[in-house]
Structures are given as structure tokens and as C-alpha cells.
Amino acid sequence: MNKVQQKAEAIFSSSNMLQRRPALKAHNESNIPGVYVIGDLAGAPVIKLAMAQGFDVIQHIAAKPDAKADQPNEYDVMIVGAGASGLNAALAAKEKGLRAVVLEKSKFANTIEDFPEGKWVYAEPDAAPPKGKLWLDGARKEDLLARWHQIVTENGLDVRTQEGIKSLERLKDRSFRVVSEKGEYHARRVVLATGQRGNPRHLGVPGEEQEWVYHRLYSPRHYKDEDVVVVGAGNSAVEAALTLSEQNRVRLCNRGDEFPLIFKGNAEKLKRAVADKKIDVMLKSQVREFGDKRAVIESDGNKQQVTVPCDHAFVLIGAELPVKFLKSLGLKLENEWTGSLARAAALTLITLAGLWILGGHAQAAGSNLGFLPRWLGALAAVAFLGALIVLGQRGDRYSWLGVSFLAFYTVYGVKVGSGNEFWPYRDWGYKAFSFFNRPWSFWYTVLYTLTMTVFGIQALKRWGLDRRDKFQIWRYVSLLSFQWIFFFLIPEFLFQWAIKYQWVGARLASDPQFAGQAWRSYGIIYAWPLFFYTFFGDPHKIWVIWGLLLSFVIIPIFVLWHGKRYCSWICGCGGLAETFGDRWRHLAPKGPTSVKWEWMNLVVLAAAAVVTVMVILRDGLGFLRHPSVWGLETYHLFADVWLVGILPVTLYPFLGGKIWCRYWCPLAKLMHLISKLYTKTGVSRYRIVSNDKCITCMECSRNCLVGIDVMSFALKQEPITNANSSCIGCGVCVSVCPMDVLSFGTLNVPGLVQIGNVAAHA
């Protein structure tokens, strides 16, 4: 089981490879009540947004009835980190009359202080004015810092530099004891504003601690006529190598075989510098040791170790979350897979066994278990479900997986139909769930629509109203309208009324082939092969003609202009993912392996096509009769129940909402193939383009529900199309980018495609 758990964990944790953050609740409160996390550490990618979090968190704290400390030696707020967010929080605290102290482990605004000399600091995003009293406008770093020093002095803030915190303890009275490098403090609440960019990643090789091995490049022009080794493959490393190469002999050491994450401009400059022999680029190579003014580099390409002269080395391989530090304070990180898969699986099975007894199967079987009363089954189910929930609350993530599985296995396993329910609901589940004389399928649709509505309104607020983003407002209005009108009101009510009151004409209304198949009205919007039964099961010819038109004419025309936007604007399956699944969108599987798995929906599409053809031809070709029945049943069981229902919805809280759409939906694949063909033949009007302002904050990649590494496209300014990605056109990457880097192509349909501009001017 250990190996199975390891494999499961690798899948569930794939989103962590991009970026990790502390697990936060509303108002940026961490798992420790009274400890808040703001700024870069909480995902605010630029100074303005970090400042806004500092301001907002203090408004929240100040509004609490116990905002003020009880004891005279206790601070109301302890702020850790004197960066943009921490300083703005301290200014807001002062304004609210809260007694605050700021502890800074290094220099005042250390991250910005460490920017290269003369760096221009951008004040993006343009649309939002800065919140709070800290000044921000586009400026040279030196000017910005001078203004900040002045503001801090004028406001008399208590900022203590060179004093990092060492430990944090929550006391019985819910206040905190904070031990720093210089002393001990008591505070009512703690705000962590420690950033993460100031925590450079290390290689971990011998000699890295020597004073000529740096993890930042501050003043490149101070180095002249020296042997320099730069390690890294990102923009910082390439820019450093380019600047240093003007006056030095530079080797750029990259452990990969290309530079996939650098700006287009940097790539061109690097190419020129290599051609001019100004930089020696060592690909597939790794530093093994820094010795006495030399570096030992292993080149994987030819398995050789070379020793090169090295007066200075710059290891510029990014920054990382200070996991050890955060853990030592007791903070939980998002998507931590702790617990036991085997225990959760056993508890889930026993809960289901309890339900089996509750359903009366122990007695009906006439077996040795006949003595087990139904109430005992109910008791066992409640007890073991309770155990899963308690373990989950204690941090066992596999237990929550078990709870989620139980919930959606029940919902879909019962919906299969009376008498066909999955174990342990066989012969009793459907009846038990058919409340008020309406079948479970009806209540399922009600539940689905209500869930989408409740979570859809939250998502509408998050992406549309709060950001004043018209594109997202229209998208969520569209998703909710399609669900309510076409996937609820028409099939459940309006179709029947159309028959009863003959809105469809007397002939159709009295035709049992049409009138008796209300469920086919789902096919008004759901196209084959998502609506698998379009062309068989005795359809009225109206449905066949509409099905052909929808699947093979309307959808392909729509795809020409809008790619796969059907998935993020129209479809009910995609709709549930974009609403109920929205809060977990950052957990979507990431990385090249996760993209490779997308072959699966080609298999489902092929299976749908083969079974459909077999079923249509079976009357004429007798030998197809048995295989077609088997194919139909198998496809129904796997695709219609497990792949579209139980598995993806169970996985929403763990892998985001788009597992079905990305990996298994045959219609998504069909649209993808069409869109890819359009792109390759140059007729597609769908793409996302980027300008050159990306600051590598990763917000776009983090929030892409289909796991696309949007940032790497943005850096290279390479358009995102359906030839190079499975983009569904939700536009969240565009909305979330703080630098307005991304926008939909240059197509001239106002309000729908120019959303980069719409969002910027909203």
C-alpha cells in the first residue's frame, strides 16, 4: 500500500511543483487562529497587491472586539517583515490606533533593497489605486526606498531591523509569545509578512557558503576582467550573465538543455552573446563543488567533470517558500498529503458495509449475517463516517478523499436507476432518495443546479464583481443561465408543458416518439458525443437532424471563433467545475506528465464513436448485435457514471474541477481536434497573446484549471492556441495577471475577445 500511496501522492501533489503557499482561510488567517499571512507569502505577486493585503488585514483585525491587548506589555499586533505589505500594515495599524511593532530579520525593505542598482520599480496593476499610506508609483528603487524611509519616520513606526523571529507560541489566553534574535515579545495577533523572494534557493553543494559565491547580483558593473560562473536558467541568471559578460569572462551553467522560461528579448540577446563568444553556455551541466577560486562542473551530456576558474559565482536559481521556517512556527501549507490511504480506504469500505446492512441486505441474503439488525448498519455507517471526518479535521487528507468518494459514489451510484444501483444501494437506494414522490434523477438535477448557483454566485463575485471584470461577469451569467434554462427548466418542466399545451404543435405533441422522451431535450445544447444517445434509442427525426446540425455544423463553426469556450461558457459539466470546483482550481495537475495524460480523452472519443456506429448499424448487421449491447453497457458504466460523475466530482477538492473536461470528455477532445486543425491551417481566430511585461509571478499558471503553464508562454510571448495547449478560454489567466500581460487575440468582437482591454478598463 505504501507504493500505491506514494504514486497517489505524486499525482495529488503535482500542483505543488509550481508554487506553494501557507493554507489560508478568510481574511488571510492561517491555521493558527490569530496568525495572519500577507503579501508575497500569501500570493500577492506585486508591491501594490502586497500593500493592499497589509491594509486589508489590519482593517479586519481592528474591527474585532478584542483587537486591543489586555496587558500593558503586550502589543496589539506584531508584524514580521518590513517589506511592502508589512510596512503598509504597520501604517494602517497606526491609523487605527493599534500598538504595533515590526521585526525585520535583515535590512529595511530588504527584497527591494536587493534589487539591482537603479532598477525601475513598476507600480502595476494600473487600474487599481494603491491602498493605505505607503507611497507607490513607478520609480527608481533608490527613490522609492527614500520615500518609504521618510514615511516611516514621519509616522513614528516602531521598525526593528536585523531582528528575525525564531519562534512563535500561542498562549492559553490566545495571545502570542514571539521570540526574536534579540528578545521576547507578547502580542495579541501576529501578521507574517516575510515574503518569499528574499529566500533564494541554494544548490546545496560543497563550498557554496564561501563569500565569493552569491545568490543575488547587486552591482554587476563592479566586476571587471574576472572569471565568473552564473548558475541558472531563468531571466535573473540570463540577465546577470549578459550584463557581466560586458566586462568579464562568463560561463552560464544550465542543468537543462534549453532556456524555456526567459523573455523573448533575453533569448535573442543570449543567442547573440553566444555567437559573439561573449558567454560560454554550458547546457545539461551542474556545479558539483565550489573550490579555491574554481568550480567543478559536471556535464551530464558527455558525463565529464571539468574544473573551471571562478573568481565569482552567482547562483540565481529562484527563490523558494521558507518551508522549514513556516513549519517551525506551526503553519500548515496548502495541499499537504498527510495521513494514510489504507486506513481511509478501510474506513470508507466499512461505512459502505454499514449501509449495506442498513439497506436490509444482511437479512435478505439469508446468510450467516441475517442476525445483524438494520439499525446496527446505520450506527456503523455513522460511526465510521464520523471517524473519517474526525481524522480529516486532524489533518488526514486521505480521510477527506474517503468522505468525498462516499458522497459522490452515493449520488451517482444511486442515480444509475431503480434496481441497478451500485452496491450497497442495490434495490433500495433509488427509492430512499426519491423524496416527495419525485425520482432521484429529478432531485439530482435540483441539487446540481442549486450547487452551481450557490458556488457560481461566489465565483462570479470572486472573478467578476470584485475585479470589475466584465468578461468574467458575462461568463458566469452565461454558465448559470444555460444550466437553469437548458439543463433544468426545459427538461424538467417546460418540455412537458410544451407537450401539454401543444406549444410544439398538435402533431408533435401527440407523437409518443417525441412527447415520451423529455430527456432528449438535454440534446438541445449537449452535443454528441457528450450527449451520447443523440442518434440511437428510437429518437424522433427532429432530434437526429438537430443532433447532426449541432455536433457537425454549429459546434465546428463556434470552435473556429471561440476554440473550446463551450467548456467554460455553456456546458453544465464544465459549469459545475467552474463554480463548485473553482475554489480548488490551483490544485489542477501541473507539469509535462499531467499534459501527457490528456491522451485519455482520445480513447473515450474513439470508444464513443465505435459504440455509436455499432449501435446504429446493428439492425442491418446482425453480428454487431451482441458487441453493440456490450459496448453500450460498458460505455454507459465507465463514461456516463464513473468518468463523468463519481471520479471527477470526488476529485474536485484534490485536483481541481476539470478532471472530466481535461482528461475524459469526448466532446472536449472533438472540439480540441477541430480547433487544432483550424490553428494548423491558419484559419482559427482563437488564441491568447502576451506582451513583454511578465514578472514571473506564476499567478496565471497557478489558476489555470486545465494545468497549462501559461507563464512559460507569456515569457516567450508565444500565443496560446489549441495546437499547443488544451485551453478552454475561461480567461482566468487574463483576469488574474497583475501586469495585464495576457489578452485574447486581435479578433474584433468587442467585449468578448478583447478581454485584456476590457479587464484593464473595467
Q: Does 388 help bind ligand FAD (rule: CB under 6 A)? A: no
Is residue 11 part of the contact set for ligand SF4 (CB under 6 A)?
Answer: no
Q: Which of residues 700, 752, 755, 758 is near ligand SF4 by CB under 6 A? A: 700
Between 112 and 358, CB nearer to ligand FAD: 112
Site for ligand SF4 (CB under 6 A): how many residues?
A: 27
Q: Which does 134 bind (CB under 5 to 8 A by kind): ligand FAD, ligand SF4, none?
A: none
**Residues facing residue 690 across a β-bridge:** 742
Q: Residues 706, 753, 758, 759: which binds ligand SF4 (CB under 6 A)?
A: 706
Q: Which amino acid is at 208?
A: E
Asked if residue 240 binds ligand FAD (CB under 6 A), the reply is no
Query: Which of these segments, 98-106, 255-263, 383-391, 754-762, binds ligand FAD (CB under 6 A)?
Result: 98-106
Q: Which is nearer to ligand FAD, 323 or 624 (CB)?
A: 323
User: Least distance from C-beta 739 to ligand FAD, angstroms?
Assistant: 9
Window of 12-20, 24-32, 104-112, 523-531 that interacts with ligand FAD by CB under 6 A: 104-112
Long-range pairs for 116-122 at CB < 8 Å and ≥24 separation?
116/217, 116/218, 116/219, 116/220, 117/141, 117/142, 117/218, 117/219, 118/142, 121/47, 122/46, 122/693, 122/695, 122/739
Rounded-to-integer distance, Cα 367 and Cα 380, Å: 19
Determine the Cα–Cα distance for residues 118 and 143; give it in Å rounded to an integer: 9
Between residue 22 and residue 61, which ones bind ligand SF4 under the rule CB under 6 A?
45
Give yes or no for residue 193 binding ligand FAD (CB under 6 A).
yes
Q: Report the phi/psi class of residue 132: left, alpha or beta, with left for phi > 0 and alpha for psi in -120 to 50.
A: left
Strand partners, 185: 178
164 binds, among ligand SF4, ligand FAD, none (CB under 5 to 8 A by kind): ligand FAD
Is residue 219 exposed (0-12), middle (13-18) or buried (19+ Cβ within 10 Å)?
Answer: exposed
Stretch that binds ligand FAD, among 102-110, 332-340, 391-399, 609-617 (CB under 6 A): 102-110
Strand (E) or helix (H) holding 740: none
According to CB under 6 A, which residues from 63 to 82 bind ligand FAD?
Answer: 80-82
Task: Give the span between the Cα atoms of 100 and 68, in whole angstroms.
Answer: 10
Provide the minimum distance between the beta carbon of 134 and ligand SF4 in the complex, in angstroms, as a whole number.
22
696 belongs to the binding site for ligand SF4 (CB under 6 A): yes
The reply on whether position 758 binds ligand SF4 by CB under 6 A is no
Torsion of CA 31, 33, 34, 36, to 10 degrees: 20
Helical spans, DSSP H, in 434-589: 440-459, 470-484, 495-500, 506-509, 512-515, 541-549, 555-562, 566-569, 572-579
316 contacts ligand SF4 (rule: CB under 6 A): no
**Min CB(589)–ligand FAD separation in Å:** 27
- Picked from ligand FAD, ligand SF4, none, the partner binding residue 323 (CB below 5 to 8 A depending on kind) is none
CA atoms within 13 A on the CB side of 434: 15
* Phi-psi region at 39: left, alpha or beta (left = phi > 0; alpha = psi -120 to 50): left
Q: Which is nearer to ligand SF4, 408 or 713 (CB)?
A: 713
Radius of gyration of the chain (CA): 30
Task: Yes or no: say if 381 and 354 are a contact pair by the CB < 8 Å rule.
Answer: yes
In this chain, which of 32, 35, 37, 50 binds ligand FAD, going by CB under 6 A?
A: 50
Identify which range of 84-92, 358-366, 497-505, 729-737 contacts ligand SF4 by CB under 6 A: 729-737
**Binding ligand FAD by CB under 6 A: which of 36, 55, 122, 584?**
122
Q: By CB under 6 A, which span of 13-21, 48-56, 436-444, 697-705 interacts with ligand SF4?
A: 697-705
Contact 135, 151 (CB under 8 A): yes
Q: Which three cell numbers stand for residue 472?
A: 468574467
Out of ligand SF4, ligand FAD, none, what residue 85 binds, judged by CB under 5 to 8 A for its kind, is ligand FAD
Residue 708 as a binder of ligand SF4 (CB under 6 A): the answer is: yes
Q: Which of 165, 281, 728, 737 binds ligand FAD (CB under 6 A)?
A: 165
| Helix, strand or coil, per DSSP, at residue 121 | strand
Read off the DSSP letter of residue 362. Answer: H
What is the Cα–Cα distance from 38 to 80, expressed in whole angstroms?
10
What's the rounded Cα separation, in Å, for the pair 313 and 206?
Answer: 13
Q: Kindly list the residues in this chain that would bind ligand FAD in the complex (CB under 6 A).
A: 39-40, 45-48, 50, 80-86, 103-106, 109-112, 115, 121-122, 124, 164-165, 193-195, 197-198, 325, 695
Q: Kindly list the residues in this chain that would bind ligand SF4 in the complex (CB under 6 A).
A: 45, 694-700, 704, 706, 708, 710-711, 714, 720, 727-733, 736-737, 739, 741-742
